Amino acid sequence: MKPATVAKKLGIYLPATPQEFQESTITREEFAELQANPPEWLAELRRNGPHPRPVVAQKLNISISGLARGGVEDALTTAEITALLQAPPQWLVTERATHAAVRAEAQRVKEEAAKKAAKKARAQAN
């Protein structure tokens, strides 16, 4: 696998990885070993960052689009994410509320679809 693919699957920021990782091809066995027994550099990246945008968005509980609307273009460290959570700027408060509303609506739609499917199944059974 390409280093970018492995980094994405591991949830790490590729430019922050060691040079030999960035220049190598990783087999599926090596990937499994990285997951099972992460080396110190991998554990450190996961713990302190910098983190890629999907991980930053997840930790802030917003969407990746919300990061862009908030002006966050770069990877952030755990300390930077913690600082944002402790003293959230207005854009973060707004994006978290928007993200929560979108998740609630998606859940409502999913439940509605399940009710319709159950109703249809009962009708077909009769």
Residue 125: what pLDDT?
78
Q: Residue 48 has which token pair?
A: 């302190």
Q: For residues 123 and 31, what is the distance between their CA atoms, to the nearest angstrom? A: 49
pLDDT at residue 73, as a whole number: 87
Helix/strand/coil for 1: coil
Which portions of the chain are predicted below pLDDT 70?
Answer: 126
Q: What integer pLDDT is reported at residue 86 of this predicted model? A: 94
By the 10 Å C-beta count (0-12 exposed, 13-18 middle, 19+ buried), 14 is classed as middle
Q: What's the confidence (pLDDT) of residue 34?
A: 87
